Every structure is written in structure tokens, then in C-alpha cells.
Amino acid sequence: MIVNQFLVLGALLFSIGVYGVLVRRNAVLVLLSIELMLAAVNINLVAFGAFVDDAAAAGQVFALFVITVAAAEVGIGLAIVVLIFRNRSSANVDELDLMKW
Amino acid sequence: MVELVLFVIFAICALFGAVTMVWARNPVYSALGLMLTMFSLAVFYVSNAGHFVAVVQVIVYAGAVMTLFLFVIMLIGVDKAEDRSETLPLQRPAALVLLALFAAGVLVAGARAWTTGYTAPGEAVNGTIEAIGSRLFDTWLLPFEVTALLLIIAAAGTIALAFFRGDGEEG
């Protein structure tokens, strides 16, 4: 069994996610790109879980944990985005310079 | 062979969804593109014997998370034109060159079997709900409980943020 295909795909998806985080200026799109990066990591976890001798099912259990953390992160992140939009009428990350000195 | 054909089909779907997500002007198309990617990833989980992870992926990611994203996109408006100009002039060509180098590196490395490890001795990993659940409540009990704590904190934080007003008053 070969895992290289999944690793290459995961690397490509992660790179697209990084590109989205760096390029998009809408805060919701930045969060979407972060979701893509987390999912790309999950491919690696599950593929290696099937590749190596994984008696404790560590790959799949860790993929579950990553999904859980992603869900929690999305809840908090989107609440923050909605709150910022309510206060400043904009979700553009370039205009959020409140903490810039 | 069937596995390889399925992989190619759904890898193209996943990459198409990801590129759509990054490039679409309309945020709704971005969310739908990511949904396509998530469904394709569920297929890869199944092909790696991760049946339960695939189900969770579809229900949590493609279902709950993307619905939440679509709600927020609708709430804060979809028709905002986004400025895509770069402040640093050389940034884009430099990024393209670096991307080409990185892609070449990944493909060259992927063409050789460089992954090593203690490969599974015949018996495949069992990804059913029963197997994952017994592992989760046995070997991974403490991380699982910490996950519950994390989810409670996230839910409480979201509610606290929703109640927050601009003048610092609760309610």
C-alpha cells in the first residue's frame, strides 16, 4: 500500500489553504482557508494510520480530535467575526488594526 | 486499480473545490467549494478504512460547520467587492516562483517512495464505530475528556461573545 498519493494531495491542499489565508482579506474566507488546512492534515493522519501498524487507532482518533478542535475554533472564530462586523461594519482583516501600534 | 481511479477522480474534485474556495469572488461559492472538498476527503477516509472518521467528516464538517459558515456569510453580506491589489509589487511573481519550486519538490519526493515505517503486518486498521469507540474510551480516554472540556469552553465563549455589547454591558 502506497501513502504517497495522499501525502502529496495533503501537501497541495495545505498549500492552497496557506495561499487563501495570505491572500483573502475577508475574515470569513480566512477562516475557511484554515479549515482547509486542518482537513489537509487529517488526510495525513488517516493515511498513516492505515499505513503503519496502528493498534491503538491513533491516526483516526487524532483525526477525530482535529475535527473537534476545528469545530470549536469555527464556533469561536465566527462569533468573533460577527461581533467585529457588528461593531465596525466590515469583515476586512486589513482594516482591523485595533491592536497595531 | 479501482482505488486508484477513485483517488484520481476525487483528488481532482478536492483540488477543484479548494481552488474554487480560494479564487471565487462570491463567498457563497467559496463555502460550496470547501464543501465539495470535504465530501471528497470523506471518500479518502473510507479508502483508508476510516469509516467512522468519514461519517464524522460529512456530518460535522460538510454539515454543521459549512452550514454555520453559510449562515455567517449571509449575515454579513455577500456582495462586498474585495480588493485584491498587492502592496508589495514583487510579491506575486516571487510567490509564483516559490510555489513552482515547492510543487516540483513535492512531486519529485512523492514520485519516490520515501515514506518509511513499521508497516501493517497484513491486518488492516479497523475503522468501525465499535473499534474506534473502544479505543477512544480505553487508550485515549484522557484526551477525549479534555475534548469535552474544550467544547464546553468554546460553547460558553460563543454565548458570551453573542451577549457582548459594544459599550461593555452584558445583555
- In order of their start, the domains of chain A are 4-88 (1.10.287.3510)
- Asked if A82 and B75 touch (Cβ cutoff 8 Å), the reply is yes
Which of B53, B79, B105 terminates a domain? The answer is B79
Lowest model confidence (mean pLDDT) among B13-17, B104-108, B109-113: B109-113
Indicate the SS3 state at residue A51.
Answer: helix
pLDDT surpasses 80 at B109: no
Q: Once rounded to an integer, what is the mean pLDDT over residues A29-56?
A: 88
Q: How many helices (H) and strands (E) would you count in chain B? A: 7, 0
Which of B79, B96, B121 terminates a domain? The answer is B79
On whether residue B62 sits in a domain, the answer given is yes
Q: Do B50 and A1 touch (CB under 8 A)?
A: no
Find, among B52, B67, B83, the residue nearest to A49 by Cα. B52
pLDDT surpasses 70 at B151: yes
Give the range of the structural domain holding residue B165, as residue numbers without chain letter.
140-171
ipTM confidence score: 0.89
The confidence score (pLDDT) of residue A3 equals 77
From CA A21, how far away is CA A30, in angstroms rounded?
Answer: 5
Q: Which of the four pLDDT bands, split at 50, 70 and 90, describes residue B114? A: low
The confidence score (pLDDT) of residue A74 equals 92
Radius of gyration of chain B (CA): 21
Q: Once rounded to an integer, what is the mean pLDDT over residues B66-77?
A: 88
How many domains in chain B?
2
When the pLDDT of each residue in chain B is averaged and rounded to a whole number, the result is 83
For residue B3, what is the domain's CATH number? 1.20.120.1200
The confidence score (pLDDT) of residue B4 equals 86
Residue of A6, A33, A60 to mutate, testing the B interface (most B Cβ within 10 Å of its Cβ): A60
On whether residue B101 sits in a domain, the answer given is no
The confidence score (pLDDT) of residue B171 equals 47
The confidence score (pLDDT) of residue A98 equals 76
The confidence score (pLDDT) of residue B144 equals 92
- Whether residue B74 is found in the same domain as residue B145: no
Which of B64, B79, B94 terminates a domain? The answer is B79
pLDDT surpasses 80 at B153: yes
Residue of A69, A78, A85 to mutate, testing the B interface (most B Cβ within 10 Å of its Cβ): A78
pLDDT surpasses 70 at B150: yes
